Every structure is written in C-alpha cells, then in structure tokens.
Amino acid sequence: MDIKESPSGKVINALAGYQAFIPNPLPPKFEWDNALVKSLSRADHILGMLSREGAKLPNPHLLMRPFIAREAVLSSKIEGTQATLGEILAQEAGANVDRNPNDLQEVRNYIAALEYGLERLKSFPLSLQLLKEIHGKLMLGVRGSHATPGEFRRVQNWIGSPGCTINSAKYVPPTPGELMDCLYFFEKFLHDRTLPPLIHIALCHYQFEAIHPFLDGNGRIGRLLITLLLIERKLLSSPLLYLSAFFEATQSEYYTQLYNISSKGTWHDWFSYFLNGVALQSLDVLSRAEQINNLITGWQSSKTEGVASDIIRYLAVNPYFTIKRIVENLGVAFTTAQRAVMKLEDLGIVSQTSEGKRDRVYCATDILKILEGSLTPNTRLSDYDI
C-alpha cells in the first residue's frame, strides 16, 4: 500500500503480511477559515434555492423519475457500466435495447436500491442495517452478486490498478478484524448533529469509502448515502440533487481527493471540492428542470388538448413511450392514443425511434437531450458568491 503514515488514520501490519489503513473516528480536527466558510455559505444558499424552487416546479414528483434514472446511469458509469440514460428510459418504456443485459440490470438495480432506501427512510433511521438492505437490492443478480449482497465483507479487499495484488495496491481498507469497530464509529457519527449538514455529509461519504465495508458496490452505496443524508437532514424535501454527475465529470480529481485525505489529511481541499459539487449540481438540476418544464408548458399550449396534452405531461416522467403504454397509463382506446401520437408527430414534439410498423417506440428527443447533456449549468458559481 502506498500510504505509510497519515494524520487521518493509522497503518497497521496484518497477520497475512500486508498493510491496511484504519481511518480515525470522525470528526477530524480542522480549522475554519474564510475560504471554507464562504464555500459552505454558497453551497447552502444554492442548495436552499434548489429546495425552494424545486417545490414550485409544476411537476416536481414527475421530474424525480428521470433524474433518479440519470443518477443511476452516471453512478454506474463510474464503475464501468456502459448503459446510457436513453437506453434505460427506452427499455422502461417497453423498447428492445441492444445493450449487455448485465449493464442494464446494474442500472435498474441502482434505481431500485435508491427508491427502496428513500421509502425505508420514512420509517427507519439511516443506519448500518439500512445500508446493508440497500446493498442487497443493488447487487441482486449482477456482477458481484457472489460477493455476499447485503452483508459486510469477511475477507480483505483492496483498491488499485487492474490486476494488482494486495501488496502492490494503492489503498487497502481496514482488515476484517478491524472492520466492525470502524463501522461502529461510523454509524455513531452518522447520527451526530454537531457540524453543519453539508460538512457532515462530506465527512460521511469519505469515511464510508475509506472503510469500504462491502466486497463490491462500495462506490455506488457511498454515492447513494449522500442522497439519503440530504433527505434525512431535511436539506431537500424530494431527491432532486445527485452528485454522481459531478464525480463522473471530475473522476480523476474525485479519486485523488479521497486518496489525499487518507494519505495527507487534506480535509479543506475535500470540503472545497465537495461543496463546489453541491453548488454546481444544484444549479445544473434547476437548469434542466426548468428547461423541461418550459418545453412541456410550450407544447401544451401549441394546439394540443385531450389525450395529446395528457401524453405531453407524461413525457416529463419518460420521454420514451409506446402507444400500448399510453393506452395502459391513460385508459384510452388504442385508436384514440394513435391519433393523439400522430398529432404530436405532426407538431414535431415526438418522433418514432424504432423501425417497422409494429410496437413502435416514440421519443421526445428535445427532453432526452436536456437529460443527457453534460454538466454545464447556465449560471456561473461566481454569480452566487456570498
């Protein structure tokens, strides 16, 4: 392991002859300076704006679904999954998708795990038990399903370049013998309320990644943890904010930041990076949600009514659809749905994406472009200096 000593933890010699890192219990000692206070104030301000404005959006609950799917795709992409958002949404709509079924299943599992965690959180505290339950949903029937889904590891894991051994690994998390002590202190800190919420969440995410308590799926569970904490700490009333897009766009820096905390104790750098991600992603989500709502509002006023107008409203949930799904969702006759879709085609709102005349798949590509676009919020963070 590259780390030999650190202010953030201790390096121990395992009986098997390798070294492992044991992170210190949280919170760490760090100094508040003007830069950190400013970063926190800005992130809090913009996150609060997302919470307020998100509640005012015409369809905040409808918009949650595609953003959850987007988070699942980007978080899974960090782990090497190749499925795209368009493929996931198209498959949900009933289309046949030419993609490795395992990749699609991994993303679907992420969506199921997140939705399970959000629902469970309504009656059960965020805890080690809940994280194990979510892990069980995440790893069901996919790569790593052999790695004891829903159970903390009982053997050693490590992080490094493909094919590396434990002795050549860049980072080795706590040994199985030290794991439960680390998790005990981690869970204790999960319920700590002495620090500002965003600082608390940043610390929890790092600590979970440093402990790496599962044999597989740690990165995805660690990112799910951020969303669950945002909801539990009541920073958001609905899960509109996800940081996987920011982590994926800055992947090299993300891993460097996590490693540098373990090796050098660079807490300030991590806080600055994390808070910047919260601010950027909040603005990004607001921008995308507003663009989608503007499209839908414009379409509904452009000579659409009845079933055609109802279809437009559902495009916020999924821009892909089939006439069969319209019939099922709206409870209308097939010919009625068909006429409405033809009207939307004539207006240029939707277009057919499948070949042939049977089981046609349609898409509002303007909405898909908004959802799939890269991280480029319209508003600059400098406009929100506190």
Known binder of ligand: residue 221?
yes
Residues in the chain: 386
For residues 350 and 362, give the distance between their C-alpha atoms in angstroms, rounded to a whole number.
Answer: 6
Known binder of ligand: residue 220?
yes
Residue linked to tokens 């993300």:
254
Nearest C-alpha neighbor of 197 from the set 275, 116, 260? 275
Identify the sign of the CA torsion 166, 169, 173, 178.
positive
Known binder of ligand: residue 219?
yes
Residue 67 tokens, joined: 């953003």
Known binder of ligand: residue 212?
yes
For residues 245 and 284, give the distance between their C-alpha atoms in angstroms, rounded to a whole number.
Answer: 10
For residues 256 and 254, give the distance between their C-alpha atoms in angstroms, rounded to a whole number.
Answer: 5
Known binder of ligand: residue 218?
yes
Residue linked to tokens 């409870």:
331
Known binder of ligand: residue 79?
yes
Known binder of ligand: residue 269?
no
Q: Which residues are catalytic?
A: 212
380 in helix, strand or coil? coil
Nearest C-alpha neighbor of 363 from the set 121, 176, 172, 84? 84
Known binder of ligand: residue 254?
yes
| 169, 1 Cβ separation under 8 angstroms | yes
Known binder of ligand: residue 80?
no
Nearest C-alpha neighbor of 185 from the set 68, 13, 28? 28
Binding region: 79, 212, 216-223, 254
Binding region for ATP: 79, 212, 216-223, 254
